Structure 1
Amino acid sequence: MSGSLPPRRARVLVVEDSAVIRQVLVRLVRDDPRLELAEAVETAEEALRLVPLLRPDVISMDVRLPGMDGLEATRRIMSACPTPIVIVSDASTDPALQVSMNALRSGALSVVEKPAGWLSGPQGGAAIATQLYIMSQVPVIRRRLSAQWPVTPAPVPVPMDLRPRVLAMAASTGGPPAFSHILGALPATFPWPIVLVQHMGAAFMEGFAAWLGTQTSLSVALARQGERLRPGHVHVAPGETHLLVGPGDEIRLSHAPPLGGQRPSASMLFSSLAREAGADAVGVLLTGMGEDGSAGLADLRRAGGYTIAEDRSTSVVHGMPGAAERMGAVCVSLPQGAIASHLLGIAGALHHATEWAGMLEGPMS
């Protein structure tokens, strides 16, 4: 006898008002050896009553429910009894998309596309089950409200020799609220173009970009092939598509195979900037599971770029930034609440340096 016990199955609470979809989700859970059904309910009120009693490892949460919706249920669960929550949403409905994105901001960990029924296919069902299992392993805490972060974080010294012209950012689990918080603190006059990778199902990327545009004064849209980078604009990687920066700061979209299981790949984005911008680029790697982005961030730092990782203290999952730290790919690690001010400090230092250079050159012209 080996004496080792089989891994404990993750207990799932299914919250879904459609009887058909609820049956599909229950079947997916029961058919997966990694999962165990705790209960299946059709209202948020039932879920709120059962969470402290059943203590599920993960919750599959619909957003459009009778009575209280999934967004308010997420807020209450994350406040009273923090539990990993996976939003199961209809990607084709704009209101549901907006609620789903706001639920992520309120503490839900990820969003997956709602199964169409019994014929949704084994691949789609396996993806939902896998997402439930993976998220069940994430330790969640009582949701941090943005108001709890210092309004004026402790200042971080700004390197005075930086002259960046482009900013790249990437995240996975916990990314949407992190992007919302950081980009929401940047003014419409922010001087650099921003290229962004978020790991999320392809069906949600257009809705994610639209939602992110409501969270910031910057313009936000899915990146287009051949588009030139524009200051003050956020170019978001489309679903299942690598986003690269090519010569002349032109966007290149690629359907090459996933790198490290990810498409879009944060590492491919950062590596493209290392080749094309080098010391003229800033890379920011935020919360996320796995190691995507770490190798590319290392390439960028070796090329002279300035690299920032989210600190463990605010990361929902410190996998991606932690891997970059271990590789020596990070110039500075900052809590989420200090990243925007640090970026503004770099931009301000560059602006003042340019003004000062102009004053010095003036009398000589």
Structure 2
Amino acid sequence: MTAPVRVMLVEDSLVVRQLLAHIVSRDPRLALVAAVTSGEEALREIHRVQPDVISMDIRLPGIDGLETTRRIMAERPTPIVVIADAVEDSSLKISMNALRAGALSVVEKPVGTGHRAYAAVADEICTQLRIMSEVPVIRRRAIGAERERPAPPDLPVRPEGLGALPSLVAIAASTGGPPAFARLLGALPADFPAPILLVQHMGAAFMDGFAAWLNGVVPPTVAIAEDGARPLPGHVYVAPGDRHLELGPGGLIALSDGAPVGSQRPSATTLFRSVARHVGPRALGILLTGMGEDGAAGLLDMRLSGALTIAEHESSAVVYGMPAAAVRLKAAGSVLPLDMIAPRLLRAVQPGVFR
């Protein structure tokens, strides 16, 4: 029998701490090994209880959750799930910065047992704790140390790009996505000459805050995508919570409540397939870090249509799931460490430059 996942709770509110303890204790796959009230206490206890995963409050007395996350990742790297209030702008900003510091995901704070959403929220918290406990958080080699690795040459595709400059970029990620997007998009200029459509797997309640946070840390303008809008160069359009983002007829953004694809809505594959259908060789697709296989099949459609396609290299991916699936399908024309993707992207959009 598999041993239960050892969970440490870091939460200063007595009510929320007790509720989280109740939620964890009801899942036989989880075992509560500590429930502490401050970052200082967490840093003392982590070496003694050796948790498999940590539930981290962001608003803590003394050392806040962001700084606690930084120190844990420096001293004893452990998977961290941030528990945040989805409606507080300041809490969301700290939460997104905690993801940059090494936390793996963000989930909503639990609601009372009598609330109609209690069961769904409790299940999501337990699911995230179980899944994230399996992510190996280790000190990685310096990103950029790998050379570009081309896809195997036997894939029967049309020549990538067909000499045309990309007129649109589609990009997607899941676990580890927010900090990856911040680094990649942060290396692009505000006047980047193509629009970017972006899918990030994250709880619907956090998407507005994610887009606002990203808009504050990268040069291009970032906003939640709106149905029927025409994508503009220098702008990044983020799929809203629990809706598919597609490129529709006439090059307009199309949002839909269609069925999840591969259990995901928004789905990276849905986005990539729409781009392959309407833009073909004049597009560029990028698949970054994330669990599962979403996006791989859609990226293959893009490559078969003649688009440039890139998957993140294992050396920089927080979770090498989605990019690995793309590599297995031979959907990626290039496999690059994160810090080499922006230079490749900038080279692709420059007229007269060999790509």
TM-score band, normalised by shorter chain = over 0.9
Tell me what 1:62 maps to: 57
Q: Indicate yes or no: 2:15 matched with 1:20.
A: yes
> C-alpha displacement at 1:352, in angstroms?
5.5
Match of 2:2 among 7, 17, 21: 7
Whichever residue aligns with residue 205 of structure 2, its letter is A
SS of the residue corresponding to residue 263 of structure 1 reads: coil
Query: In the TM superposition, what is the alpha-carbon distance from 1:142 to its structure 2 partner?
Result: 2.9
What is the CA–CA distance in structure 2 between the aligned matches of 1:351 and 1:252, rounded to whole Å?
A: 32
Q: 1:328 Cα deviation (Å)?
A: 1.0
The answer as to 2:132 corresponding to 1:130 is no
- Distance change >3 Å, CA 215–CA 143, structure 1 → 2: farther
Cα deviation per residue 1:305-338 (whole Å; 9 max; x = unaligned)?
A: 1110000001000000000100111100000010
**Residue among 226, 230, 233 paired with 1:231:** 233
Q: Which residue of 1 aligns with 2:153?
A: none
CA apart distance, 1:347? 1.4
Kept after mapping to 2: 8 A contact 1:85/1:110: yes
Higher RCO, 1 or 2 (CA under 8 Å, sep at least 6)? 2
Deviation, 1:234, is: 0.1
C-alpha change, 1:39 and 1:302, in structure 2 (3 Å) is same
The structure that has the greater radius of gyration is 1
Residue 343 in 1 paired to residue 338 in 2?
Answer: no
Alignment of 1:62-81 (within 5 A): 62-81=57-76
Cα contact 1:244–1:253 (8 A) shared by 2: yes
Q: Could you say which residue in structure 2 is the equivalent of 1:140? A: 137
Contact 1:271 1:297 in 2 (8 A): yes
Q: Is 1:116 aligned to residue 118 of structure 2?
A: no
C-alpha distance in 1 between matches for 2:213 and 2:192:
19
Deviation, structure 1 residue 159: 7.6
Q: 1:345 to 1:172 in 2, by over 3 A?
A: same
The one-letter amino acid paired with 1:221 is A
1:70-116 deviation digits (Å, cap 9, x = unpaired): 00000000011000000000011111000000000000000000012
Q: Tell me the residue number matched to 1:220.
A: 222
Q: Secondary structure at the match of 2:6?
A: strand
Alignment-derived partner of residue 326 in structure 2: 324
Q: 1:53 corresponds to which letter in structure 2?
A: R
How many residue pairs end up in the alignment? 343
Superposed CA offset, 1:223-274 (max 9, x none): 0000001001000000000000012210000001111110000000000001
For residues 95 and 249 of structure 1, the distance between their equivalents in structure 2, rounded to whole angstroms, comes to: 35
Residues 156/344 of structure 1: CA separation in 2 closer, same or farther (3 Å cut): farther
* Map of 2:46 onto structure 1: 51
Structure 2 unaligned spans of 5+: 151-159
1:160 Cα deviation after fit: 8.4
Task: Give the equivalent residue in structure 2 for 1:333.
Answer: 335
Structure 1, residues 151-204: CA drift from partner, whole Å, max 9, x if none? x98688998824210000000000000000000000012101000000000000
Distance 2:101 2:207 in 1: 19
Amino acid in structure 2 at the alignment position of 1:123: A
Q: CA deviation at 1:49?
A: 0.6
Contact 1:149 1:337 in 2 (8 A): yes
SS of structure 2 residue aligned to 1:214: helix
Q: Structure 1 residue 143: deviation in Å? A: 6.9
TM-score by length of 1: 0.91
Change in Cα spacing, 1:159 to 1:153, as seen in structure 2 (3 Å) is: farther
Q: Which runs of 5+ in 1 are unaligned?
A: 1-5, 354-365
- State the distance in 2 between where 1:344 and 1:170 align: 18
In structure 2, the CA distance between the partners of 1:267 and 1:155, relative to structure 1 (3 Å rule), is: closer
Distance in 2 (alpha carbons) for counterparts of 1:162 and 1:52 = 55
Shift of 1:149: 4.1
Secondary structure of the corresponding residue to residue 270 of structure 1: helix
Q: Residue type matched to 2:74 in 1? A: S
Coordinate RMSD, CA, aligned = 1.8
**Secondary structure, counterpart of 1:231 in structure 2:** coil
1:304 to 285, 303, 306: 306
Alignment-derived partner of residue 272 in structure 2:
270
Question: Which residue is equivalent to 2:167?
Answer: 165
